[in-house]
């Protein structure tokens, strides 16, 4: 995380005075000028503003919200001073996607190679964990040798030669967002609609793909739990994308239970590889299939749903999607033999959590599952904490399943950590009732690009 020691010298003192004054004005309800927002972000990136002052500014924005003009200015400020990918050198249109994250959400690791295997290049800049949700970069670091962050000058050649690129947020791109991203994770501002929107769209402005699909989660395990507010985030991001000339589609997806059965870094890599080999994991694949279809249609609007699904099924069934992932990983430094043998980090211990009674699984609280994984070392309690890439949780049942007393509901996978706390969290996550229930659909709503929604200034 960027952030210097307490400000020293006249330049730092002036920068601190500006951010303190801006925080006070925003707290009082004043609409900030674009130049003021630009200056604050630039000063922080340059190291002239200490973390605690920037955290106060972000918290005030989260509480007061942003006007349309302020949100556009913050998005532009996040991207200012950084590079922009020149995708004109790529043969054909390029598509991008983004998920707001959740528990057991490995969609990026699946849909990017699937769509690339369908012949549509995919450029994806991804990030680390925020809060209790897993970060794609953290998961990818489970693969030995893989370079997870490429310099800007290598991204387009990788995209041209392989057909896909998955890279972390380079300092060359969106430096303002990069500097504040981890700070949001540890300062209670993760769930702010304007800060989420500015962060995501600034990265998309830097990539500027021909098509963009946004996957926004709703439900107990989402950053935005309330469905109405999650839909507001969708409209905010679609409107913001339109302000910058980006063509975007979106899906509102369910996170009322973990998306997939694996929760943890290497565990989720294995889960993604299983899907890429053709296993249609319920819930997880249901969402991935829709996102893949929308990605294909975003650059080929004439493609029917049936035609898109046929292309997707073909690359899964003939192994092309899996081969694409391996080819990309090797191109970014991974050892092919180790990856294909799945020599990934693995926890040495497992502890089962069993059903206390017979009945139907009526609910699985995703935040508790995510927190249990975090307690074992799969996530961060502080921004610079190391990760145990082999740790996590494996779920053996989903909502709607019938279970008997003593059946294994889930397993804790660990070498260390607060196992007692993790077990208590996981036990509390499962609800078992006497009446059968139907699990909610993986996708609640699809937002077409021709809706052209108005930009909505969100507030936390």
Per the annotation, the verdict on 317 as an active-site residue is no
Q: How far apart are CA 405 and CA 360, in angstroms?
A: 11
Q: Among 2, 16, 22, 199, which one carries the catalytic annotation? A: 199
Q: For residue 454, count CB atoms less than 10 angstroms from its CB and return exposed for 0-12, middle for 13-18, buried for 19 or more.
A: exposed
Q: Among 98, 204, 217, 423, which one carries the catalytic annotation? A: 98
Per the annotation, the verdict on 48 as an active-site residue is no
Q: Among 26, 128, 184, 293, which one carries the catalytic annotation? A: 184
Q: Among 172, 177, 254, 388, which one carries the catalytic annotation? A: 177
Per the annotation, the verdict on 199 as an active-site residue is yes
Per the annotation, the verdict on 98 as an active-site residue is yes
Bridging pattern class, strands 211-218 and 95-99: parallel
- Tell the residue number behind the tokens 């050892």, with chain if given: 335
Q: Among 64, 139, 203, 380, which one carries the catalytic annotation? A: 203
HEC-encoded secondary structure of the chain: CCCCCCCCHHHHHHHHHHHHHHHHHHHCCCCCCHHHHHHHHHHHHCCCCCHHHHHHHHHHHHHHCCCHHHHHHHHHHHHCCCCCCCHHHCCCCCEEEEECCCCCCCHHHHHHHHHHHCCCCEEEEECCCCCCCCCHHHHHCCCCCCCCCCCHHHHHHHHHHHCEEEEECCCCCCHHHHHHHHHHHCCCCCCCHHHHHHHHHHHHHHHCCCEEEEEEEECCCCCCCCHHHHHHHHHHHHHHHHHCCCCEEEEEEECCCCCCCEECHHHHHHHHHHHHCCCCCCCHHHHHHHHHHHHHHHHCCCCCHHHHHHHHHHHHHCCHHHHHHHHHHHHCCCCHHHHHCCCCCCCCEEEEEECCCCEEEEEECHHHHHHHHHHCCCCCCCCCCCCCCCCEEEECCCCCCEECCCCEEEEEEECCCCHHHHHHHHHHHEEEECCCCCCCCCEEEEECHHHCCCCCCCCC
Per the annotation, the verdict on 397 as an active-site residue is no
Catalytic residues: 98, 177, 184, 199, 203
């Amino acid at each position: 995380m960027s952030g210097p020691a307490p400000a020293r010298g006249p330049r730092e003192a002036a920068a601190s005075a500006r951010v303190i004054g801006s925080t006070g004005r925003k707290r009082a309800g004043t609409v900030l000028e674009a130049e003021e927002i630009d200056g604050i972000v630039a000063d922080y990136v340059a190291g002239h503003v200490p973390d605690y002052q920037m955290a106060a500014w972000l918290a005030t924005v989260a509480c007061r919200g942003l006007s349309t003009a302020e949100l556009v200015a913050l998005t532009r400020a996040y991207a200012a001073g950084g590079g922009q990918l020149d995708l004109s050198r790529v043969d054909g249109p390029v598509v991008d996607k983004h998920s707001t994250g959740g528990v057991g959400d490995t969609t990026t690791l699946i849909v990017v190679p699937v769509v690339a295997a369908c012949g549509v290049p995919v450029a994806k800049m991804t990030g680390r964990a925020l809060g209790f949700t897993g970060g794609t970069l953290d998961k990818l670091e489970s693969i030995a040798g893989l370079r997870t962050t490429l310099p800007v000058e290598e991204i387009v050649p990788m995209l041209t030669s392989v057909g896909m690129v998955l890279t972390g947020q380079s300092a060359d791109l969106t430096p303002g967002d990069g500097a504040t991203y981890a700070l949001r994770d540890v300062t209670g501002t993760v769930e702010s609609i304007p800060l989420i929107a500015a962060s995501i769209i600034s990265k998309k402005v830097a990539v500027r793909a021909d098509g963009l699909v946004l996957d926004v989660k709703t439900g107990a395990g989402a950053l935005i739990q309330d469905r109405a507010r999650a839909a507001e985030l969708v409209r905010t991001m679609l409107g913001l994308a339109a302000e910058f000339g980006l063509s975007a589609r979106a899906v509102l997806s369910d996170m009322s239970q973990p998306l997939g059965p694996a929760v943890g870094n290497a565990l989720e890599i294995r889960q993604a590889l299983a899907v890429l080999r053709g296993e249609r994991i319920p819930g997880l694949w249901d969402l991935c299939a829709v996102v893949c279809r929308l990605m294909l249609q975003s650059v080929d609007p004439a493609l029917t749903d049936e035609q898109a699904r046929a292309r997707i099924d073909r690359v899964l069934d003939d192994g092309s999607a899996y081969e694409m992932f391996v080819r990309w990983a090797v191109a970014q430094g991974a050892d092919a033999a180790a990856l294909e043998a799945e020599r990934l980090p693995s926890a040495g211990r497992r502890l089962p959590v069993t059903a206390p009674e017979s009945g139907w699984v009526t609910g699985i609280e995703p935040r508790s599952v995510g927190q249990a994984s975090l307690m074992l070392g799969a996530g961060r309690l502080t921004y610079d904490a190391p990760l145990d890439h082999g740790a996590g949780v494996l779920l053996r049942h989903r909502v709607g399943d019938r279970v008997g007393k003593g059946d294994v509901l889930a397993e804790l996978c660990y070498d260390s950590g607060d196992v007692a706390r993790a077990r208590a969290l996981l036990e509390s996550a499962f609800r078992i009732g006497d009446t059968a229930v139907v699990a909610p659909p993986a996708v609640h709503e699809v937002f077409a690009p021709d809706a052209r929604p108005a930009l909505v200034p969100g507030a936390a």
